[in-house]
Amino acid sequence: MKKSFLFFFFPFILFAQQSAEIVFVNGKIWTVDSSKPEAEAVAVINGRIAAVGLSNDVKKFIGSSTKVIDLKKKRMLPGFIDNHTHFMSGGFQLQSVDLRTAKDENEFALIIKKRAEERPTKWITGGDWDHDLWKSENLPTKEMIDRYTPNTPVFVNRYDGHMALVNSLVLKLVGITKDTPDPVGGTIVRDAKTGEPTGLLKDEAMSPIYKFIPSPSDDDMLNAARLGFAEARKFGLTSIQDMAHYEGSRDILTYRELQRRGELTARMYCREYISNWKSLADASVQAGFGDGMITLGSLKGFADGSLGSSTALFSQKFLNEDTYGLASDGVADGRLERWSQKADSARLQICIHAIGDSANGLMLDMFERIAAKNPKWDRRFRIEHAQHIHPTDFKRFAALGVIASVQPYHAIDDGRWAVKRIGDERCKTTYAFRIFLDSGVKMCFGSDWTVAPINPLLGIYAAVTRRTIDGANPNGWYPEQKISVKEAIECYTINNAFAAFEEKEKGSISIGKLADFVVLSDDILAIDPVKIESTKVEMTILGGKIIYSLQQ
């Protein structure tokens, strides 16, 4: 009782003479604060939460200039946080060719043809194609598009970003031939009979292409970012954890410019590639460096590829290909560990992409060695994706304090075909959300946009139902891995805040924290979880300001 009493009356002591700028009343508020999980109203002063409680009591903060919002019994939650987006790439993808909808090879080729006719000689990029949607399940080849693009360079990626198709023009431009060796950490896919490149490039084999693609202008960057922020607002996202940069520091400079113009509508937690760790260390940047809107001090590295491209690194071979997957070049030559060890000693956060069970095990080994060698600090190692885990490694995640940074929509997407790639036994510990939580692992959620939709409600739906998008698993794909709606909300709010050293500032509707909220059309804590998929965001609030309203 004493704790609850202080929780409620503390704001009256702190803000006794102040009126709120905005007050939300008559709602069903799930605070994600265990000391007071349910409330009806919240008051905001100077962009922070001044009071949380019953409507009649919080009304005491209403003054002559206070804006009062009647929530009409709608469900309010803390603003959603996305733990893993490729944000600028997402903004550009909204303007690029969209191949995700292509249902077969012919439709794929015709979409490319149409774009080439609209913009002859201009690079065609983006794509996000998914050959597993095609009846044939055949991979695309350059022959499908060459006749439509004789003078138009094409570089279109699979939706996971670990494989791309180029046309013959690009192969010639870059100098990739039958005799070009595979790079470390990459594969040039070749015709089984002739040995000629098919146009498909995996992981590091894609790297030579990037230097030939024209850089976007500053205006292009701003426009792409604006499109991305509009998408984020629409889905209740008030914080974005961005995965490395589109072109060096240009992403951050773009966010800074939008902040200067008053157009930055999400708090950005930005990462650099781990190869650039020294530039941050030399500038005395450490984890959590920032102003509350743009934060630096986190680094991204790669251990392997992806499941869909058969480049995730496993301890056993893929069932459909004679390969264990691919270790990244940084793993292969030891650079990743050397960079990580030095970056950790500079108190920079290490976040490593690892998908296959072998890649995850190798990263846990690496983290254990780094923690043993370097001085102790609150380092919060993260494994991004953490998709396929060896049964013995869940306890290692917990023991080492490694955060499982997962993206639940992948489970209902990849679940359409994962068993064909790796078999039933390995799928039992794939996207293993229940095991992670039961093992005491700190797990956080996100989208991996544009690999998957940025909408957090779809992520929550995926985590609690595990109904694959092909409709084949109405009761859930490996349903024993389902988690509750409350647990999924925590993964999208307070756990994500913790994963970015920000749990004291955001992630729950608690007094003193930033006034970031989302209001939903339906009460996802009460409805059938199947209906979460169709729930809408009615309002998004950042720092007490309404930045999106469904009614506007």
Pick from 295, 301, 348, 227: nearest CA to 497:
295
- Residue 346 included in any domain: no
Average pLDDT over residues 431-450: 97
Q: Residue 246 has what pLDDT?
A: 61
Dihedral of the CA atoms 480, 481, 484, 488 (nearest 10)?
A: -170
Average pLDDT over residues 129-137: 90
Query: Looking at the domain assignment, is residue 152 inside a domain?
Result: yes
**In the structure, what pLDDT confidence band is assigned to residue 248 with cuts at 50, 70 and 90?**
low
Q: What is the pLDDT of residue 526?
A: 98
Question: How many domains does one find in the chain?
Answer: 1
First to last CA, the chain: 42
Is 168 part of a structural domain of the chain?
yes
Handedness of CA 421, 422, 424, 430 (dihedral sign): negative
Query: Alpha-carbon torsion 248, 252, 255, 257, what sign?
Result: negative
- Asked if the structure places residue 171 within a domain, the reply is yes
- 447: in domain: no
Q: Evaluate whether residue 12 is within a structural domain.
A: no
Closest CA to 236 of 455, 503, 523, 496: 455
> Would residue 461 count as lying in a domain?
no
Helices assigned H by DSSP within 203-249: 207-210, 218-234
- The CATH code of the domain that includes 92 is 3.10.310.70
At 420, which helix (H) or strand (E)?
A: helix 418-427
- For 521, other C-beta atoms within 10 Å of its C-beta total 15
Are the C-beta atoms of 507 and 498 separated by less than 8 Å?
A: yes
454 located within any domain: no
Which residues span the domain enclosing 156? 87-210
Is 163 in contact with 157 (CB distance < 8 Å)? yes
Q: What local confidence, expressed as pLDDT, does residue 471 receive?
A: 97
27 φ, ψ to 5°? -115, 175
Q: How confident is the model at residue 247 (pLDDT cuts 50, 70, 90)?
A: low
Task: Kindly provide the residue ranges of all beta strands, DSSP E only, lying in 86-125, ordered along the sequence.
Answer: 97-98
Q: Are strands 80-85 and 75-78 parallel, antiparallel or unpaired?
A: unpaired
Q: Give the global pTM.
A: 0.88
Compute the distance between CA of residue 235 and CA of residue 215 in angstroms, rounded to an integer: 29
Vertex 458 angle, CA 456 and 459, to 5°: 60
Taking only the tens place, the pLDDT of each residue in 23-76 is 999 999 999 999 999 999 999 999 999 999 999 999 999 999 999 999 999 999
- Whether residue 196 contacts residue 212, with contact meaning beta carbons closer than 8 Å, is answered with no
Region label for 294, one of left (φ > 0), alpha (ψ between -120 and 50) or beta (otherwise)? beta
Structure confidence by residue, pLDDT tens digits, 88-128 = 999 988 988 889 889 999 999 999 999 999 988 889 998 98
Taking each helix axis as running N to C, give the angle between helix 218-234 and helix 250-260, from 0 to 180 degrees, rounded to the nearest 10: 70
Q: What pLDDT, on a 0 to 100 scale, did the predictor assign at position 320? A: 86
Other CB atoms closer than 10 Å to residue 533's CB: what's the count? 16
Asked if the peptide bond before residue 323 counts as cis, ω within 30 degrees of 0, the response is no
pLDDT band of residue 3 (cuts 50, 70, 90) is very low
The pLDDT assigned to 11 comes to: 46
